[in-house]
Amino acid sequence: MKLINKTQIPDSEILELIKFAKPASVADNFTAVVKEGKNFAGFTFRYFQRFSVTMEKTTYPTIRNPLPRKGGYLTNISILNETEYLLFLLSHELQHMASRKHTEGSCDRYGLETLDRWRKAHGSA
């Protein structure tokens, strides 16, 4: 696995989150790009083992998709801090990597499940 990190977040933290979020079926030969931008976003390449997530500056706690969004995404996802937001986006993209057939809704659900598992593991739920 190769990490291209263009943020101030330490590589070690991103690698820990990827390890925590990665479905067992995803092989390790992928590239993850983490960058900063104007919107929180994620993108998984269709024909390459590569995804990217973009982190926006915001204040926490925050809500992802407060309004309904085209494409079957879940709404009103509660995000407590930057680590959780990064974990959610990484989980979503890793679920796309697990199968290109996963819908946006199922990737968001996997992101929520991973967040829940993270909160339980770290005593914040």
The window from 17-25, 29-37, 50-58, 101-109 that contacts Zn ion (CB under 5 A) reads 101-109
Distances in Å between the Cα of 96 and the Cα atoms of 40, 42, 66 are 17, 10, 22
Sheet of strand 2-5: strand arrangement? 2-5, 31-36, 50-55, 41-44
Q: Whose Cβ is closer to Zn ion: residue 14's or residue 89's?
A: 89
Shortest approach of Zn ion to residue 104 CB, angstroms? 5
> Any idea which residue has 């991103």 for tokens?
14
Angstrom CA distances, 41 to 38, 52, 56, 103, stand at 9, 8, 8, 16
* Minimum CB distance to Zn ion smaller for 61 or for 105: 105
**Minimum Å distance from CB 12 to Zn ion?**
26
Contact stretch for Zn ion (CB under 5 A) within 1-9, 16-24, 58-66, 98-106:
98-106
Q: Which is nearer to Zn ion, 96 or 118 (CB)?
A: 96
Instruction: List residues near Zn ion by CB under 5 A.
Output: 104, 107
